[in-house]
Structure 1
Amino acid sequence: MTITPVKTLVASAKEQIETLSQEDAEAQVAAGVSQFVDIRDIRELKREGGIPGAIHAPRGMLEFWVDPASPYHKPEFNTDKKLVLFCASAWRSALAVKTLQDMGFENIAEMEGGFGAWKKRGAMIEEQKKEAK
């Protein structure tokens, strides 16, 4: 059996999605036109902390939470703001943004470098994260 390596899937997704620089993403969120969505696992969130104001939507539930027709839909995703997804290193977020685009979402992007780059540049981190309810 031949499989497509995940690295290839990520590279392909990145060619088809919008990737915002850390600074642009932060500025858009601060201006109120975008909303951070943290798709990391809850264990990563508890261990590493998160970005203040980000909604936590674990990767495994993301499509279900954003789809208004899903019984699992979360109202936080009924927004005109651009959703800016991030994970630890911008691999899962690239695949997630591509999937949401395939679902029909247009106002969506990922943040370059993910939370790892956010932390490395010394940007604000909070210990407790709010999860979509």
Structure 2
Amino acid sequence: MDHTPGFLKLVDDARTRVREIDVDTARARQAAGARLIDVREDLEYAAGHAAGAEHLGKGVIERDAERRIPDPATEIVLYCGGGYRSALAADALQRMGYTNVASMAGGWRAWQAAGAPVEMPASDEVAR
């Protein structure tokens, strides 16, 4: 996707405050109990996602995070398609008081490229 300069400026600014981790580190943190959260849109998540990931879209994360993840010390690893939206979402959660948040660099594309486990819909679900 071709990102606009204004969007990239927002992401670059957020990245100055957000911890970014690679896929291997994200997998290790997930195995140790971190919540792996997919912040992509509903249809993106439904088309396939990291194994064990929960869905909490970027569009509603600020509204719903405290209900879904009430303890602000919970370790959270966020990812999106390429690591841009997750950086923005991680920044927002930190501003809300969450203290152990990371964004996975490269997002879903990096997860797949690394051969990490995924959950895909049954072929008949995709046709719906």
TM-score bracket, normalised by the shorter chain, equals 0.7 to 0.9
Residue correspondence of structure 1 range 8-47 to structure 2 within 5 A:
8-32=9-33, 34-47=34-47
Q: Tell me, in whole angstroms, the C-alpha distance in 2 between the residues paired with 1:91 and 1:42.
A: 17
Q: Which residue of 1 is the match for residue 124 of structure 2?
A: none
**Whole-angstrom distance in 2 between the partners of 1:66 and 1:45:** 17
Q: Which runs of 4+ in 1 moved over 2 A?
A: 78-81
Gaps of 5+ in 1: 68-72, 129-133
1 CA distance for matches of 2:46 and 2:30?
22
Measure how far apart 1:45 and its partner are: 1.6
The aligned residue for residue 86 of structure 2 is: 93
State the Cα distance separating 1:30 from its structure 2 match.
0.8
Q: Deviations over 1:31-66 (max 9, x none)?
A: 22x11000111111222x111111101111111111
Tell me the TM-score normalised to structure 2 length: 0.84
C-alpha separation in 2, matches of 1:31 and 1:19: 17
Deviation digits for residues 69-119 of structure 1 (CA, Å, limit 9, x no counterpart): xxxx23xx1355311010000000011111111111111111111011111
Letter in 1 for 2:56: A
Q: Pairwise CA RMSD of aligned residues?
A: 1.4
Partners of 1:78 and 1:104 in 2: CA distance: 11
Aligned pair count? Answer: 116
**Is the contact between residue 79 and residue 107 of structure 2 (CA under 8 Å) also seen in structure 1?**
yes
Give identity over the alignment, percent: 34
Matched ranges for 1:2-81 at <5 A: 5-32=6-33, 34-47=34-47, 49-67=48-66, 73-74=67-68, 77-79=69-71, 80-81=73-74
Scaled by the length of structure 1, the TM-score of the pair is 0.81
